[in-house]
A and B are shown apart, each in its own frame.
Chain A
């Protein structure tokens, strides 16, 4: 039991909830958030000792054990890798945001959402209970929504926020469904337990449906084709958010989930084909899209999509080397992509824009930033001796020596090289286009960024070099444990810059050369075309389906909520009748019903008078007020009947309810014409009369079926227990406030909500009028 595990998500969560209520200024907020992130990093690192020795830490607090929901956490190598990434990157991003975010924006909201995200993401990667994981998963989507839409005066920000919420929310629903199917079939929601059972879980019925739904959720979150379009729209978020959520961490939640479940499912064919195919397609579509972008952040977003696809592809393989490559790439991608995003923010700040068509020659104005971007970009393209080169090499090797799966497996090395060529080409476009060549047409004169804005990115760039040069010291133990957790068996990670003259090295060279060649050719002559427009069709499809959905909802509402009270009453009556009669018909056999022979003459008389009086009023009366009064009279007759049956409580209630109903109806009558319209079309009269007759007969039958069936009454129990157990002699009241007190509590709550609803409705109607 390691309580630090619970503290890891709990601490940022608590502070996130408190921040909006503090009166801290911009600096104070940044410091508070930074301290929390630092403490979280410390907590994460404090777990490293035992985990790197191969232990798994657990913590569990029962929450709602009856439905299988526990606050249970566990941390292994994979969790540790992500925890370090989330908390560590959090510190740097907050440091960057402190320098980046203008002080006149609502920063308490910003930092609160950022910490909320950090807490949720830490929860996702340490949750043991799958339901708990879903809760955290949805929280990351919510935090992302808040952060993308942070500048809510900007229409693009709002649209991007909605789009990401709808796409990832849809995936979250699928994930929940998949997990419910899986958990119900396996009888447990604890990940550790599921992983331990292995084969037994794979053999469960409907497990492929569950897996499909879970993968759907993971693919939406990690912006895989065809759901990738939300990520470029999410670039409307402030740049620190893009660097943190939409490149380093949140978009890797899907990757994490796939890695987490890999030991269970990686051996299945569905897994191999689905995950590698989606990953490969995403890698190519992302790289292709990045070549077409002129906005720095959009280019980086597509590049992120492409690299998320690469990691997904690797996880689909499931071989030891592919798994090591995937986990290593998760780390490296965060380390080289975050400084590139931060640099895009710096350029935006110091040159007044980030459109490649207006940038150029920035190296002369901001030399330090340029050096930093060159290093990080080289790592992204996979140049030695940087960290990106190491993971790229492993990637090629994994595609070459993966398990044999026919032509598809043979095709993957080619896909890998093609994807990397695209990477090289768009990296060059980014670096050369913005920082070299002729000076651009800047919105305002660019200058070097102040040190606080550069520091976090520079630190990460140094890490690119450090990990590239001494990978076995800095990364190998962590990656080894992470890969072991993803594989389900223990592996050692060992990296080397130089492997000898291997096919992987040739592929590296080919990818770099191909990308450079394309870039030079494209710059030399415009006859080498940009890639054709592709991949926007998914976004258009999304727009179309959202529009269609809204239009359909509008049409449905117009049809059923037309304001025609007659229609409402018909629908309500028909459905009530159908439910009551249908339900009773299924559960009642006429043989067991007792005939109605024990009714007293007096009872029959009361009933007869009621029926005749009602009919007379309904048929011959043409004014509303007498109708209402007659209805009240019927209610009073019912009260008389209750008195006959010696039910004084019911009599009292019936009398008062009738009184108040009559008052209410009289008040409403004020708004209606005095007379009931006399000239009804014949077909309408027929419909209404038929419906009335049907309802009358139906209700009679239902009452008959309910009251004339033999059943064991629990009245005796209540009569006996009322005084000794609850100290009351009025059984009706004791049932209401004690025996069934929980029901009463629910009922008065419903009453209260209904009253507020009516209040709001009448208020709205008055405003319209």
Chain B
């Protein structure tokens, strides 16, 4: 399944897909998107590399093992969840701030994004783990 055509298309698609995933993740709080969808998107883009390219090349391209991503995500989401406790708020209380930045204009920063980042990591990690395990 390593047709040169598929391989070159996959290579061009990867950065685009990752960019779209990042876009989905960041805008999730206000527009359709979010960690779950972004995670699936990332996993789909990466698995395309595995299918299209030589597996060794694709695996070397990953910054870490997908299982690591799962743990990272759990730590992120769990950490965000309990971070409100020391401040005296109940579990999972979220906070958000509105800022006016030069060039970017109105920007909203919400701790929920960190939580969503955890969801993103877990979903990406889980999907990749399962697919790669079966693909091998």
Instruction: Give the chain B neighbours of A736 by CB distance below 8 A.
Output: 34-36, 116, 119
Task: Report if B92 contacts A (CB, 8 A).
Answer: yes
Would A752 and B32 count as touching, CB distance under 8 A?
no
Task: Report if A656 contacts B (CB, 8 A).
Answer: yes
Q: How far is the CA of A659 from the CA of B47 in the complex (A)?
A: 11
Would A759 and B67 count as touching, CB distance under 8 A?
yes
Would A660 and B44 count as touching, CB distance under 8 A?
yes
Q: Check A733/B28 contact, CB under 8 A, given A745-B81, A748-B118.
A: yes
Would A737 and B112 count as touching, CB distance under 8 A?
yes
Would A745 and B29 count as touching, CB distance under 8 A?
no
Instruction: Give the chain A neighbours of B30 by CB distance below 8 A.
Output: 728-730
**CB within 8 A of B73: which of A653, A748, A758?**
A748
Instruction: Mark B96-136 against chain A: 1 for CB-CB distance below 8 A, else 0.
Output: 10100000000010101001101100110111011101110
Task: Report if A524 contacts B (CB, 8 A).
Answer: no
Task: Report if B91 contacts A (CB, 8 A).
Answer: yes
Q: How far is the CA of A763 from the CA of B130 in the complex (A)?
A: 11
Q: How far is the CA of A733 from the CA of B126 in the complex (A)?
A: 20
**CB within 8 A of B126: which of A651, A745, A755, A763?**
A755
**Nearest CB on B from A718, distance (A):** 14
Would A652 and B91 count as touching, CB distance under 8 A?
no
Q: How far is the CA of A659 from the CA of B91 in the complex (A)?
A: 35
On chain A, which size bracket covers the interface?
Answer: 35 or more
Q: Check A726/B34 contact, CB under 8 A, given A663-B47, A664-B131, A758-B129.
A: no
Would A732 and B34 count as touching, CB distance under 8 A?
yes
Instruction: Give the chain A neighbours of B28 by CB distance below 8 A.
Output: 730, 733, 737
Task: Report if A503 contacts B (CB, 8 A).
Answer: no
Instruction: Give the chain A neighbours of B119 by CB distance below 8 A.
Output: 736-737, 744, 748
Task: Report if A50 contacts B (CB, 8 A).
Answer: no
Q: How far is the CA of A737 from the CA of B123 in the complex (A)?
A: 14
Task: Report if B10 contacts A (CB, 8 A).
Answer: no
List B15-70 residues whose CB lies under 8 Å from chain A.
Answer: 24, 28-37, 40-41, 43-44, 47, 51, 67, 70
Q: Check A660/B47 contact, CB under 8 A, given A737-B35, A745-B77.
A: yes
Instruction: Give the chain B neighbours of A659 by CB distance below 8 A.
Output: 40, 44
Would A762 and B134 count as touching, CB distance under 8 A?
yes
Would B37 and A667 count as touching, CB distance under 8 A?
no
Task: Report if A3 contacts B (CB, 8 A).
Answer: no
Task: Report if A657 contacts B (CB, 8 A).
Answer: yes
Q: How far is the CA of A726 from the CA of B126 in the complex (A)?
A: 28
Interface size on B, residues (CB 8 A): 48
Q: How far is the CA of A729 from the CA of B28 in the complex (A)?
A: 9
Would B133 and A758 count as touching, CB distance under 8 A?
yes
Task: Report if A688 contacts B (CB, 8 A).
Answer: no
Task: Report if A727 contacts B (CB, 8 A).
Answer: yes
Q: Which of A730, A736, A748 has the most CB of B within 10 A?
A: A748
Would B35 and A755 count as touching, CB distance under 8 A?
no
Task: Report if A749 contacts B (CB, 8 A).
Answer: yes
Instruction: Give the chain A neighbours of B122 by CB distance below 8 A.
Output: 748, 751-752
Would A648 and B135 count as touching, CB distance under 8 A?
no
Instruction: Give the chain B neighbours of A729 by CB distance below 8 A.
Output: 29-31
Task: Report if B74 contacts A (CB, 8 A).
Answer: yes
Q: How far is the CA of A660 from the CA of B44 in the complex (A)?
A: 6
Instruction: Give the chain A neighbours of B108 by CB distance below 8 A.
Output: 727
**Nearest CB on B from A767, distance (A):** 13
Task: Report if A738 contacts B (CB, 8 A).
Answer: yes
Would B126 and A652 count as touching, CB distance under 8 A?
no
Q: How far is the CA of A734 from the CA of B110 in the complex (A)?
A: 11
Q: How far is the CA of A641 from the CA of B41 in the complex (A)?
A: 21
**Nearest CB on B from A238, distance (A):** 40
Q: How far is the CA of A442 from the CA of B50 in the complex (A)?
A: 72
**Nearest CB on B from A636, distance (A):** 15
Q: How far is the CA of A752 from the CA of B39 in the complex (A)?
A: 13
**Nearest CB on B from A371, distance (A):** 63
Would A733 and B51 count as touching, CB distance under 8 A?
no
Instruction: Give the chain B neighbours of A668 by CB distance below 8 A.
Output: 134
Q: Which residue on A lies nearest to B27, using beta carbons?
A: A730
Q: How far is the CA of A754 from the CA of B74 in the complex (A)?
A: 14
Q: A664-B130, A726-B94 are in contact. List 5 more A-B contacts (CB 8 A).
A: A660-B131, A727-B94, A730-B32, A732-B32, A754-B126
Can you list 15 A-B pairs with a CB-CB distance of less than 8 A? A660-B40, A664-B131, A729-B29, A730-B31, A732-B32, A741-B94, A745-B81, A745-B92, A748-B122, A752-B73, A755-B67, A755-B125, A756-B67, A756-B129, A758-B133
